[in-house]
């Protein structure tokens, strides 16, 4: 890491915070309503919304975790992301219009209208705890690992991740999040494409990668290495049986 590397990272963080501030501003300088905060004013285009959904789903924990699983010959994990695209279509086609007709902004609010205030509070508490334990902690951990690669201490990187995200979210609610997500979506796509190109170049191209995988299978005795690129495993597979992938993952997504 040299001065130029740190300069690029600093500029990136400044631009993200500026975008959040810009997205949160309104021409008439009135205060945000609930619609503005939770639904970004209901006036965003398909590209902004689509890029935001992509960046929200493909975060640092996906880039590091799923890539690591693929390197261990657990390529069937890709099915969860492939099937997620189908579930998102179902979300937009069936569920979102229903939520909009109900005039709700959050799922706990829906439960309150449908059942009771106790149900709303229950879902709120469970959702917060579940996200902290199963998702937010992993995202912070993965983000801190990236900072550690850059030479920044782990806990310092974790604090930067939390504070930076909290700042631009608090500045403008969902509108700030979707615009910063849109920028980060293109950065994610460009970055992963560059990593693939450089990675294949270091391995000697596609054929060099397959030879490396075959050699690793012989050395490690990993039975999954023999079917590295096979997304569908036999029914008796202990980790990724095709029955669980085909039927379990969509149910989980819905």
- Residue at 226 is within a domain: yes
Report the distance separating Cα 241 and Cα 25, nearest Å.
Answer: 50
- Smallest Cα–Cα separation from 120: which of 107, 129, 105, 130? 107
- Residue at 15 is within a domain: no
Asked whether residue 184 carries a pLDDT value surpassing 80, the answer given is: yes
Are the beta carbons of 80 and 74 closer than 8 angstroms?
A: no
pLDDT in tens, 71-116: 777 888 888 888 888 888 888 888 888 888 888 878 888 889 889 9
For 215-238, the DSSP string reads HHHHHH--GGGGGTT-S-B-TT-S
Q: How many domains does the chain have?
A: 1
Report the distance separating Cα 86 and Cα 105, nearest Å.
Answer: 23
Asked whether residue 168 carries a pLDDT value surpassing 80, the answer given is: no
pLDDT band (50, 70, 90) for residue 27: very low
- Smallest Cα–Cα separation from 50: which of 168, 175, 189, 182? 182
- Residue at 135 is within a domain: no
pTM: 0.70
What integer is the mean pLDDT of 177-193? 85
Are the beta carbons of 78 and 234 closer than 8 angstroms?
A: no
- Residue at 180 is within a domain: yes
Are the beta carbons of 235 and 242 closer than 8 angstroms?
A: yes
Asked whether residue 64 carries a pLDDT value surpassing 80, the answer given is: no
What integer is the mean pLDDT of 187-204? 90
pLDDT at residue 213, as a whole number: 80
DSSP code, position 31: P
pLDDT band (50, 70, 90) for residue 45: confident
pLDDT at residue 80, as a whole number: 84
> What is the three-class DSSP state of 241?
strand
Side-chain half-sphere exposure of 251, counting CA atoms within 13 A: 6
Q: Domain range for residue 243? A: 33-129+174-253
Asked whether residue 174 carries a pLDDT value surpassing 80, the answer given is: no
- Residue at 41 is within a domain: yes
- Residue at 109 is within a domain: yes
- Residue at 53 is within a domain: yes
- Residue at 73 is within a domain: yes
Report the distance separating Cα 245 and Cα 235, nearest Å.
Answer: 10
Q: What percent of the chain has pLDDT over 90?
A: 9
């Amino acid at each position: 890491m040299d001065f130029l590397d740190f300069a690029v990272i600093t500029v990136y963080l400044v631009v993200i915070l500026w975008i959040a501030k810009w997205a949160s501003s309104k021409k008439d300088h009135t205060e945000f309503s609930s619609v503005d905060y939770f639904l970004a004013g209901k006036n965003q285009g398909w590209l902004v919304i689509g890029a935001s959904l992509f960046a929200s789903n493909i975060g640092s924990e996906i880039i590091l975790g799923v890539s690591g699983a693929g390197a261990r010959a657990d390529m069937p994990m890709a099915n969860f992301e492939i099937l997620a695209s189908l579930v998102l279509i179902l979300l937009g086609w069936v569920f979102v219009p229903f939520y909009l007709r109900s005039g709700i902004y959050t799922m706990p609010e829906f439960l309150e209208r449908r059942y009771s205030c106790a149900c709303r509070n229950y879902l709120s508490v469970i959702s917060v705890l579940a996200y902290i334990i199963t998702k937010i902690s992993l995202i912070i951990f993965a983000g801190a690992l990236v900072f550690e690669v850059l030479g920044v201490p782990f806990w310092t990187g974790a604090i930067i991740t939390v504070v930076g995200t909290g700042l631009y979210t608090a500045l403008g609610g969902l509108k700030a999040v979707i615009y910063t997500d849109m920028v980060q979506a293109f950065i994610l796509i460009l970055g992963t494409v560059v990593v693939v190109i450089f990675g294949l170049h270091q391995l000697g191209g596609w054929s060099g990668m397959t030879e490396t995988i075959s050699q690793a299978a012989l050395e490690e005795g990993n039975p999954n290495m023999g079917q590295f690129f096979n997304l569908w495993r036999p029914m008796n597979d202990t980790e990724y049986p095709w029955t669980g992938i085909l039927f379990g993952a969509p149910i989980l997504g819905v």
